[in-house]
Amino acid sequence: MSFDVPDDRRYLESHEWALETDGVVRVGISDFAQDELGDVVFVELPDEGDEVEQEAEFGVIESIKAVSDLYAPVSGEVVSVHEDLFDAPELVNEDPFGEGWMLEIEPDDTAELEELLSADEYEDQIA
Amino acid sequence: MPLQTPPLRGIHDERGAKFTEFGGWDMPVEFDSIRTEHAAVREDVGIFDVSHMGQIHVTGPDATELMQRLTTNDVSRLSVGDAQYAAITDEDGTIIDDTVIYRLPDEGGEATYLFIPNAGTDESTHERWISYRNEWDLEATVDNRTDEYAMFAVQGPNAATLVDDVVDTADTADAIDGSVTDLSRFEATESTIDGVECWTARTGYTGEDGFELLVPWTEAERIWSAFDCQPCGLGARDTLRIEAGLLLAGQDFNPEDNPRTPYEAGIGFTVDLETEFVGRDALAEIEAEGVEEQLVGFQLIDRGVPRHGYDITNPESRVIGTVTSGTMSPTLEQAIGLGYVPVEYADPGTTLQVVVRGQSKKARVEQTPFIDTQ
C-alpha cells in the first residue's frame, strides 16, 4: 500500500508533519499514521498561547483501537488550534494533510525545521 | 512460540486486512475500517473469521455427565440442535472461561457435544476435561478439534436472508422447510453450503441476529467466498460486543489477573445450582450472601475514551474499580466501557469517574446492553 507524502513539508519519525507558511508552522499527522491508527475518535490539543517544545508531547490522538501521543516538530507558541477536530476528529482520516491539521505554532527558531526528515527520508522510513 | 494462523490468513492478507495477535493466533483486526465494519453489522450484514475459537468434541455414554459436571449450566436441557451459553468455573467459583455448548446429533447412540472455548484455551480445556474424566472414571471421548474446524460468524439484521440464500439444505426438525430462518436463537442445524457439510447455529457475539458456522478447515475458503458481504475484523467484533455488554475472556474476567465469579460478571444466568458441577458449592454460598462487586456498563460524560486498566474512582476520587473494556461506541458516538465496582455504585444513573491519563473524567453507570438489538 502506498501513502501520500507531500514534499512541501517536513516530517518527524513519530509521523507528524510540519508545513511552514509565512513564519507559522502548521502541524498534523501523516497519511501513513492515520491509516495505522484507524478511525480517529478523539484528539486532545493544547490551548492557544501554550508553549510547546520540539519533540515533546503536545497532545494525544485516539482511534477506536489505539492511543498515541503527538509530538511537536518545533518549539514555539501555539497560535491556532484546529477546534473543528473536537467535533469531527474523522477529518484526520479523511484529509490528514489538509483539513485534518491540528495546530499552528509560531516557532522560536525556524531553523529547527531543518532537523526534521525530508519527504524522501520519511518515505524511506515508512516503506 | 509461533502464532497459529487461521486457514484464510493469505486470503485476508490479499484483501488488505491488518492483523493482530489474539490468544496466540494471527487474526485480522481490520479489513476496511472499524467504523465501516461495525456499521455493516448493525445495519446490514458482515462476516467474521473467528477460526481462533476452540472446538472440543465430547461423546460417549457419560458425555452428558462430564459436560454437566464441568460447566455451570444444565446441559441435560439440550436437545439435538440446541446451543447453550455456560461458564467453566474452578472450585472457588471463579470463571476460567465462558463457552457455547452445542448438542450435536448422537453418535453411536450416545449424546454428543461440541463446545467452544476461547482462543488459546483449547489445549488447557481439553486437558481439564481429560483429567476430570479420568478422576471421575467416566466413559467419554474428548477430542480437541480446533484445527479441524474453521469458524465464521455472519452477523447483522440481514444475516438470516444472506445465510438462507447461501445454505443449500438444512436438516433438523427445527429447520422446518430446510431453511435456517426457522431456527430460533441458540438453535443449530447441520447444513450444506456449496456441497460442504457445515454446522450452522443461530448464535453470535455482536448483539445482532446472526449465525455462526463451523466448517471443515480444508473447505474454509470455499465457504468464506460464498458470502458476499462486508468482511469484518476483531476490531469491530470488540466494539460490537462492548455495545452489547458482552464479556471478553481474559479482559472482563481473567482467572489470574482478575478472578471473577459469574455473579460478579453479570452472567449468573448461566449458573444452575440445581446441577452438580465444579464450583457449584462456592457459587451457592456466594449467591446466598450476595456479591460485593459487580460488572457495570458506564458512559463517559466528559470527553475522552476509557481503556482497559484505567482506574474508576468515586466522586471523592477514591479508587473503587478498574475499567476492563472501553471504546468509543461507533453506534452511539459516545465513550462507553465496562468495569467492576462495589455494588453500592452499580445502579444505573450513579455518577463515577474514570481516570484517563491522569485526568478524572465524569462517567455515569448505564444499563447494558448499551444499545437495543435483535
Give chain A's domain count: 1
A66/B contact by beta carbon, under 8 A: no
Nearest to A42 among B16, B33, B328 (CB): B328
State residue A70's pLDDT score.
Answer: 97
> What size, in residues, is chain B?
374
Domain B292-373 has CATH 2.40.30.110: yes
**pLDDT value of position B145:** 97
Q: What is the pLDDT of residue B374?
A: 64
On chain A, the residues whose CB falls within 8 A of the CB of B239 are 64
**A42 has a chain B CB within 8 A of its CB:** yes
Contact call for residues B300 and B363 (beta carbons, < 8 A)? yes
Q: Are A42 and B357 within 8 A, CB to CB?
A: no
Residue ranges of domains in chain B: 8-53+148-242, 56-144, 292-373
Assigned fold of B8-53+148-242: Gyrase A; domain 2 (3.30.1360)
pLDDT in tens, chain B (374 residues): 789 999 999 999 999 999 999 999 999 999 999 999 999 999 999 999 999 999 999 999 999 999 999 999 999 999 999 999 999 999 999 999 999 999 999 999 999 999 999 999 999 999 999 999 999 999 999 999 999 999 999 999 999 999 999 998 766 545 445 688 989 999 999 999 999 999 999 999 999 999 999 999 999 999 999 999 999 999 999 999 999 999 999 999 999 999 999 999 999 999 999 999 999 999 999 999 999 999 999 999 999 999 999 999 999 999 999 999 999 999 999 999 999 999 999 999 999 999 999 999 999 999 999 998 76
CA torsion, ordered B181, B184, B185, B186, to nearest 10 deg: -110
Q: Which of A1, A38, A42 sits opposite B34 (nearest CB)?
A: A38
Under DSSP, the state recorded for B29 is E
CATH assignment, B56-144 = 3.30.70.1400
What's the domain range around A109? 10-113
Long-range pairs of B128-131 with CB within 8 A, sequence gap ≥ 24? B128/B70, B128/B88, B128/B96, B129/B56, B129/B58, B129/B66, B129/B70
A62, B305: Cβ pair inside 8 Å?
yes
Equal fold, B8-53+148-242 vs B56-144 = no
Closest-approach residue (CA) in chain A for B357: A60
Residue A2 lies in a domain: no
Query: Does B212 carry a binding-site annotation?
Result: yes
Please indicate, yes or no, if residue A26 is contained in any of the structural domains: yes
Cβ–Cβ below 8 Å for A60 and B357: yes
Domain membership flag for residue A109: yes
Q: What is the ipTM for the molecules in this complex?
A: 0.86
pLDDT digits (tens, 9 = 90+) for A20-62: 999 999 999 999 999 999 999 999 999 999 999 999 999 999 9
Q: For residue B165, what are the contacts with CB-CB under 8 A and spacing of at least 6?
A: none
Chain B positions contacting chain A at CB under 8 Å are 16, 29-30, 33-35, 235, 238-239, 303-305, 307, 327-328, 330, 335, 357
The reply to whether residue A42 touches residue B35, judged by beta carbons under 8 angstroms, is no
Residue A121 located in a structural domain: no
pLDDT for residue B175 = 47
Of A1, A64, A86, the CB nearest to B328: A64
- Looking up residue A58, the CATH number of its domain turns out to be 2.40.50.100
Residue of chain B whose Cα is closest to the Cα of A36: B18
Q: How far is B295 from chain A (nearest CA, A)?
A: 22
Q: How many residues does chain A have?
A: 127
Q: Min CA distance, B328 vs chain A (Å)?
A: 6
Alpha-carbon gap, residue A102 to B123, rounded angstroms: 49
| Residue type at position B118 | N
- For B220, half-sphere exposure in the C-beta direction (CA atoms, 13 angstrom radius) is 23
Instruction: Establish if A63 belongs to a structural domain.
Output: yes
Nearest CA to B102 among B130, B141, B63?
A: B63
* Matching residue, cell 474476567: B253
